[in-house]
Amino acid sequence: MTEDIDNNQWSMKDKLSQYRSITHLQQRTIAHSKDVMNNLRKKQETKIKDLIKQNNKYRENYGLSIYGDRKKLVPVLQNHPILQLAYQNKIPKDIEENLKQVAFSKKKQLHRQCYKNKQREDDFLNIKLELEELQTASTTSKDHMWEEQQLTYEIQQVKSKLNAASIINESSLNMINVLEKDTICYNRILEELETDSKKQYHCILKAAKLGQEAADELSKLHKEYDIIVKTVKKNMKEKNRAIHNIKKKYEKVRAHNSHIPKVKSHEVSQSVDADNRDSGGEVNFQESEVILPVMERTITRLTGILKELQNISLVPSFEDIFPRALEQLKNKVRLQRQVVINEEQKTTILDQRNTLDVLLEVAIYHTLKAAVTYVIVI
């Protein structure tokens, strides 16, 4: 076009009209490009607003799931069975590695596609240059070319090559800028994932430590309670055995002395004095001398057993031992019931933690997916 305008055969009026048409065309193309850019900007702004709304919605759902909104747990898991099967038994580190692998594969595919496009552009430019050379060769032969035409032809070839080189340079610079933005976004996402995983690890460790301490304390209480129950039962058996032996001995003494007639105390003393006077003070108390030491030993043994029970049960008197034992038995039943309730609560808490882990993985996946789509749109 410039060659035709620079030709001396054209008049000034025609040249001005051509320049006006060229400028009008440039202005129209610039206005069209501005309209296209404004439309793209509006679309991107609407998409960004939709993504922000969607992200806020996911954050609200995540907060509700943390603070106990059980109504939405079941439909979320039913609506996303693939994600549940993919990430339900994985730890955050494995999820991070999986996402890194996916990002690396996507980057590799992007580089490969850019390289193919660049090759196609180079092939297109080479074909275009060859076509122009063939067209010029067909219109004007080299034998009848003037020196000015030869020079203009060479200048046009140099300009076309420079234009092709500038286009290739601009495209490569744009590709480099896009890749730099992608790397920055992916690095930010990975850093946020690392911080979130570290916080989750700390929370899980604290919960595990507290659970272990509670289990240790509960086991210690169980052991102490079993020891106290065994000692109390043993002492109660010894007490019952001693009482039974005393009853037997009491029955024997009572059966032995049942044939002795009942007399008054002054008559017994008079008869004893008369017998002493008659026999010189020798009385036959052989049976009473045998029974009394046995009874004293049993009484001392019973008092020792009762004192041990008193020290174990921590009561002020012997009468409070049996009520304290009944109270301990009631406490044992109550503690056993509490252990069953605590185990049920533990299982429910573990189930809730597993469901919350799945929801967290789903939310992370959706945020990453939205971020990747946003980067691709940019």
**Per-residue pLDDT at 158 exceeds 50:** yes
- Residue 84 contacts by C-beta under 8 Å, 6 or more apart in sequence? 77, 358, 362
User: 12-53 pLDDT, tens per residue?
Assistant: 888 888 888 888 888 888 889 889 899 998 998 999 999 989
- What pLDDT, on the 0 to 100 scale, is given for residue 290? 56
CB atoms within 10 A of CB 367: 19
Structure confidence at residue 209 (pLDDT): 72
Confidence at residue 330, expressed as pLDDT on a 0 to 100 scale: 84
What percentage of the chain has pLDDT greater than the value 90? 1
Nearest to 40 by CA among 368, 185, 32, 55: 32
pLDDT of residue 125: 86
pLDDT value of position 83: 58
Return the minimum-mean-pLDDT range out of 18-27, 156-165, 251-260, 314-323: 251-260
In the predicted structure, residue 81 carries a pLDDT above the cut 60: yes
pLDDT in tens, 228-286: 778 777 777 877 777 777 777 767 766 765 544 444 444 444 444 544 444 444 434 44
Which pLDDT score is estimated for 350? 81
374 C-beta neighbours (distance < 10 Å), count: 14
Give residue 165's identity as a one-letter amino acid code. Answer: A
pLDDT(319) > 80:
no
- Tell me the backbone φ, ψ of residue 357, rounded to 5 degrees: -60, -40
- The span from the CA of 298 to the CA of 319, in Å, is 19
Q: What pLDDT is attached to residue 258?
A: 57
pLDDT in tens, 178-221: 878 877 877 777 787 777 777 776 777 776 677 677 677 777 77
Higher pLDDT, 77 or 303: 303
Higher pLDDT residue, 285 or 93?
Answer: 93
pLDDT of residue 96: 60
Q: What is the domain partition of the chain in residue ranges?
A: 13-67, 74-138+147-241, 328-377
Q: What are phi and psi of 7, to 5 degrees?
A: -70, 140
pLDDT digits (tens, 9 = 90+) for 135-146: 776 665 544 456
d(CA 319, CA 327): 14
- pLDDT at position 93: 59
Indicate the length of the chain as a whole number: 378
Q: What span, in angstroms and rounded, lies between the C-alpha atoms of 154 and 156?
A: 5
When mean pLDDT is compared across 61-70, 122-131, 345-354, the lowest value belongs to 61-70
Average pLDDT, the chain: 73
Rounded to 5°, the CA angle 309-312-314 comes to: 100
* Cβ partners under 8 Å of residue 348, min gap 6: none
> What pLDDT score does 278 carry?
47
CB atoms within 10 A of CB 362: 23
Judged by average pLDDT, the poorest of 37-46, 112-121, 307-316 is 307-316
Give me the mean pLDDT over the 307-321 stretch.
75
Q: Under a CB-based contact definition with an 8 Å cutoff, are residues 227 and 312 in contact?
A: no
How open is the CA angle 235-240-242, to the nearest 5 degrees? 95
Q: How many CB atoms lie within 10 A of CB 325?
A: 20
Whether residue 369 has pLDDT greater than 60? yes
Copy the structure tokens of residue 332: 């044992």
Q: What is the pLDDT of residue 283?
A: 39
Q: What is the pLDDT of residue 131?
A: 83
pLDDT value at residue 160: 82
DSSP string computed for 114-131: HHHHHHHHHHHHHHHHHH
pLDDT at 217: 74
